[in-house]
Amino acid sequence: MHNKFPHLFEPFKLGSVRLKNRITKAPLFTAYAHKDGTVSSLTLEHYKEVAEGGVGMIVVANGIVDESGSISKYSIRVDDDRFLPGLSRLADTIKKEDAAAVLQINHGGYFAHGRKTFSPSSVSLSDLNLGGLYKTALKSLDFQQQLAVLSEAIQQRPSRPKKMTEDDIKYMVSAYAQAALRAKKAGFDMVEIHGATGYLPVQFLSPRINNRKDQYGGNLENRMRFPLELTQAVMDAVGSDFPVGYRFLADEWIDDGFPLDEAKIFAQRLSDLHVAYLSVTAGTYESFSRPEIVEKSHEPGYMVYLAENIKEVVDVPVITTGRITAPQLAEEILREKKADLIGLARPLFVDPEWPQKAYEGKDEDIVPCENCGACFQLVVSDRSALCVQWGKTKLIKRKNMIKEVHNPRKKILIAMDESENATMAAAYAADMLANRTDVTITLFHITTDESIKDESGIKEMMDIARSILIKAGIPEKAINIQIRQKKAGMGNDILNEIAEAGYGTVVVGRRGVSRANQLLFGSVSNKIVQNAKDCTVWVVE
Ligand SMILES: Cc1cc2nc3c(=O)[nH]c(=O)nc-3n(C[C@H](O)[C@H](O)[C@H](O)COP(=O)(O)O)c2cc1C
């Protein structure tokens, strides 16, 4: 038992998943994914760092269940199997550090970005109380940046979302279920349905927003129908051995909004479905910037009373979040049984080592979140999150990584066998890419029984290829050489490298065999042309 914080470091079980302690990373959307929705190296670095800090469970924020629901240019997407490799790497990265990996799944409803957005009612965004949100989003930008953000928002977002038909509702329920199943396939331990912050499930629950006259609108029973149906569908899809949590809105904190007394009834219904936990929050983009809410949210543990209220009426574990910056407060909440688990969003963004420092009794070394709002301002203006409290080195490193995510260099692989085709492939690439500074090129050689005998010859060939590229104006530091031993055969090894490192272009020479022979025996280049995914292949003859 831990001397100083015995409750905080007590293990816990969510369904079949064991947590090593009661500290969880509450979801904090960072906008670190690539524009195509794939997991970036920055995403991996961020979650690895948090996992290494000793937290018991990590909720990865905001995996998008359908393209129409994306809330930012840099959201992680879960709506297609092509996202599986990156999601698997992310789940592995977290689990390697003995933290449970949870993927939050979401649809933004009318807060989504695309040309076609969905909502239960055809509410115009200008009817909503979003002045505070826009002010927050624009506050930290200069005039030019403000214009850019506004014009992009106007171009991208239709003024009214499509009012969902019953078919749209069925489709969306199934999109959540498919996304959850994909998270399971990728190796996550759990999923968390995002039912807070004003996104699609809340748009159904809120009596202000939902003005439908059918079975999905009107009284509470009808307004709960969509979130309950989607929760059931998610649970059916993943099976009973896979825990499904719910990010829960306990109060919309706005007049005529979804109130606590209705939330308690909804919580009981989710508890009856046996969700794995309720992670209790409050407020939406319409209420966050109301002066009384801003004031309230400066208080340590400002949402604990809501967790307590919900805990009283449910049989499932409850997570509480909201300015729990000190382990002493976390310990007290657990000791007094106000919640079962502690959620830390910004505190772990500022200082991922919060759990480890508390464990070692060095809690005075924890860097507490100062509630400056910078991370929030960044993500709501569609930029990637940073923390101004980080040290200079980390801040600079992250800024550079963010630049790379927003404007990725094109990654090119030149497959180099031991024949002169390889040098031809390099010469062709040099011609095509002359003077390009936005590329990184990898000269990639798989050793064969023949080539292994002539190590110096291979090195010489790689050096010739490198100098051809440098002569064509490719910066020296943008050229890498990689020599690997054959594992699964030349073609397969190259294909594995393409998939793992995410190359956009592959250049390969075709061996000097006749077309008839190629048809008969196949060739490395044919194999790559036929099997490389999401990548252009240049075959040089
Ligand atoms: C920048 C930022 C991004 C957030 N993104 C998410 C999110 O993607 N999903 C979610 O459920 N909550 C999100 N939240 C809410 C947090 O999980 C948390 O409830 C809130 O920040 C209060 O807790 P904290 O004081 O520990 O940060 C976000 C909060 C911030 C500040």
Task: Give the whole-angstrom CA distance, residue 84 versus residue 77.
Answer: 10
Which pLDDT belongs to residue 329?
Answer: 98
- Mean predicted confidence (pLDDT) in 23-28: 98
| Statement: residue 520 has pLDDT above 60 | no
- Give the DSSP H or E segment for 166: helix 166-186
Nearest alpha carbon, ligand 1 atom 23: 322
Residue type present at position 395: L
CA distance readout (Å), 433 to 122, 131, 229, 406, 468: 49, 47, 52, 21, 11
Ligand 1 touching residue 193 (CB < 6 A): no
Which pLDDT belongs to residue 43?
Answer: 97
Q: Measure 344 CA to ligand 1 centroid, in angstroms.
A: 9
pTM of the full structure: 0.84
- HSE-up of residue 296 (Cα within 13 Å, Cβ side): 16
> How many independent structural domains does the chain possess?
2
Same domain, 376 and 475: no
Same domain, 59 and 131: yes
pLDDT band at 517 (very low <50, low <70, confident <90, very high): low
Ligand 1 touching residue 5 (CB < 6 A): no
* Least confident interval from 157-161, 176-180, 410-414, 455-459: 157-161
Same domain, 73 and 167: yes
Which pLDDT belongs to residue 132?
Answer: 75
Q: Which of 107-121, 126-140, 364-378, 446-460 has the highest mean pLDDT?
A: 364-378
- Asked whether residue 338 is assigned to any structural domain, the reply reads yes
Mean pLDDT of the chain: 91
- Asked whether residue 5 is assigned to any structural domain, the reply reads no
Ligand 1 touching residue 199 (CB < 6 A): no
| Statement: residue 453 has pLDDT above 80 | no
Ligand 1 touching residue 194 (CB < 6 A): yes
Nearest alpha carbon, ligand 1 atom 11: 27
Same domain, 442 and 496: yes
* Least confident interval from 6-20, 70-84, 257-271, 416-430: 416-430
pLDDT band at 158 (very low <50, low <70, confident <90, very high): low
Task: Give the whole-angstrom CA distance, residue 218 versus residue 206.
Answer: 10
Alpha helix segments (H runs only) across 206-326: 220-238, 260-272, 291-296, 304-313
pLDDT tens, 27-37?
999 999 999 99
Q: Measure 345 CA to ligand 1 centroid, in angstroms.
A: 5
Same domain, 180 and 40: yes
Nearest alpha carbon, ligand 1 atom 10: 27
| Statement: residue 516 has pLDDT above 90 | no
Active-site amino acid positions? 199
Nearest alpha carbon, ligand 1 atom 22: 322
**461: CATH:** 3.40.50.620
- Mean predicted confidence (pLDDT) in 17-31: 98
From 406, 429, 451, give the residue that closes a domain.
406
Same domain, 117 and 161: yes
- Asked whether residue 7 is assigned to any structural domain, the reply reads no
| Statement: residue 477 has pLDDT above 70 | yes
Nearest alpha carbon, ligand 1 atom 12: 27
Same domain, 458 and 373: no
| Statement: residue 319 has pLDDT above 90 | yes
- Asked whether residue 204 is assigned to any structural domain, the reply reads yes
Same domain, 419 and 357: no
- Ligand 1: nearest atom to the Cα of 192: 11
Strands 17-19 and 12-14, sheet pairing: antiparallel
Task: Give the whole-angstrom CA distance, residue 398 versus residue 298.
Answer: 27
pLDDT band at 514 (very low <50, low <70, confident <90, very high): low
Ligand 1 touching residue 26 (CB < 6 A): yes
Which pLDDT belongs to residue 137?
Answer: 73
Which pLDDT belongs to residue 210?
Answer: 96
Task: Give the whole-angstrom CA distance, residue 129 versus residue 111.
Answer: 13
Same domain, 416 and 350: no
Handedness of CA 209, 211, 217, 218 (dihedral sign): positive
Which pLDDT belongs to residue 159?
Answer: 64
From 406, 434, 460, give the residue that closes a domain.
406
| Statement: residue 424 has pLDDT above 60 | yes
- Dihedral-angle region of residue 253 (phi above 0 means left; psi in -120 to 50 means alpha; beta otherwise): left
Which of 24, 28, 351 to probe ligand 1 with, by most ligand atoms within 8 A of CB? 28
Task: Give the whole-angstrom CA distance, residue 469 versus residue 539.
Answer: 18
- Asked whether residue 297 is assigned to any structural domain, the reply reads yes
pLDDT band at 407 (very low <50, low <70, confident <90, very high): confident
| Eight-class DSSP state of 270 | H
| Statement: residue 527 has pLDDT above 90 | no
From 406, 425, 454, give the residue that closes a domain.
406
Ligand 1 touching residue 270 (CB < 6 A): no
- Mean predicted confidence (pLDDT) in 426-431: 91
Q: Measure 322 CA to ligand 1 centroid, in angstroms.
A: 8
Residue with tokens 């007094």: 336
Identify any residues that bridge with 537 across adjacent strands, giving them in sequence order: 506
Strands 318-321 and 439-447, sheet pairing: unpaired
- Asked whether residue 184 is assigned to any structural domain, the reply reads yes
Same domain, 402 and 425: no
Which pLDDT belongs to residue 499?
Answer: 82
Q: Phi and psi at residue 249, in whole multiples of 5°?
A: -95, 110
Same domain, 24 and 58: yes
Q: Measure 27 CA to ligand 1 centroid, in angstroms.
A: 6
pLDDT tens, 89-110?
999 999 999 999 999 999 999 9
Alpha helix segments (H runs only) across 253-345: 260-272, 291-296, 304-313, 327-335
Alpha helix segments (H runs only) across 273-326: 291-296, 304-313
3-state DSSP assignment of residue 527: helix
Ligand 1 touching residue 490 (CB < 6 A): no
Q: Measure 503 CA to ligand 1 centroid, in angstroms.
A: 33
| Statement: residue 156 has pLDDT above 80 | no
Task: Give the whole-angstrom CA distance, residue 91 versus residue 189.
Answer: 8
Residue 103 CB coordination number (10 Å): 30
- Asked whether residue 343 is assigned to any structural domain, the reply reads yes
Task: Give the whole-angstrom CA distance, residue 495 versus residue 137.
Answer: 43
Which pLDDT belongs to residue 202?
Answer: 98
Q: Measure 31 CA to ligand 1 centroid, in angstroms.
A: 13
Q: Phi and psi at residue 92, in whole multiples of 5°?
A: -60, -45
Ligand 1 touching residue 385 (CB < 6 A): yes
**260: CATH:** 3.20.20.70
Ligand 1 touching residue 111 (CB < 6 A): no
Q: Measure 279 CA to ligand 1 centroid, in angstroms.
A: 11
Domain that holds residue 533: 410-540
Same domain, 47 and 73: yes
pLDDT tens, 167-180?
999 999 999 999 99
Nearest alpha carbon, ligand 1 atom 20: 322
Which pLDDT belongs to residue 149?
Answer: 66
Ligand 1 touching residue 169 (CB < 6 A): no
Contact 134, 224 (CB under 8 A): no
Contact 497, 413 (CB under 8 A): yes
- Give the DSSP H or E segment for 379: helix 374-380
- Asked whether residue 511 is assigned to any structural domain, the reply reads yes
Ligand 1 touching residue 61 (CB < 6 A): yes
Contact 205, 194 (CB under 8 A): no
Q: Measure 275 CA to ligand 1 centroid, in angstroms.
A: 21
Per the structure block, which two tokens stand in for 61? Answer: 């924020």
